[in-house]
Amino acid sequence: MKAGRLLTGLVSGAAVGAALGLLFAPKKGTETRRKITETGDSYLKDAKNKFNEFSDNLSHKVDEVRNRSKAAMSNSKTEEKIHQAKADMHNMQSK
C-alpha cells in the first residue's frame, strides 16, 4: 500500500514537472502545445496499458482461485465436512 502511494506520488510529480517544464520552455507556443499533447497522449497510453495489464492479471488470479475452489469442493472429504457443518448448524438452530 505504501509503495503504491509512493509510486503514484513519484509519477504524478514527474508529470507535473514535465508539464511545467514544457510550459516555461523558450519555444514557440505551437511547438509547446504539440509537445504537451504528445506527452499527455503518451501518459494516457501508458496508463491504459498498465490498467489492462492489471485487469488481465486480476482476472487470471480470480480464475485460478475459482478453479482451486472447484477442485476443493469436488473432493469427497471436503463435501463431507460441508454437509457435517450444515448439519451441525441446523442442530444448533433447533436447540
The pLDDT mean for the chain works out to 82
* Residue type at position 57: N
**Domain boundaries of the chain, sorted by first residue:** 28-94
What pLDDT, in 10s, does the model give residues 50-88?
A: 999 998 888 889 989 888 877 777 766 777 878 888 888
d(CA 47, CA 57): 15
d(CA 17, CA 82): 58
* Cα dihedral 7/9/13/15 (nearest 10): 60
SS3 55: helix
pTM of the predicted protein model: 0.43
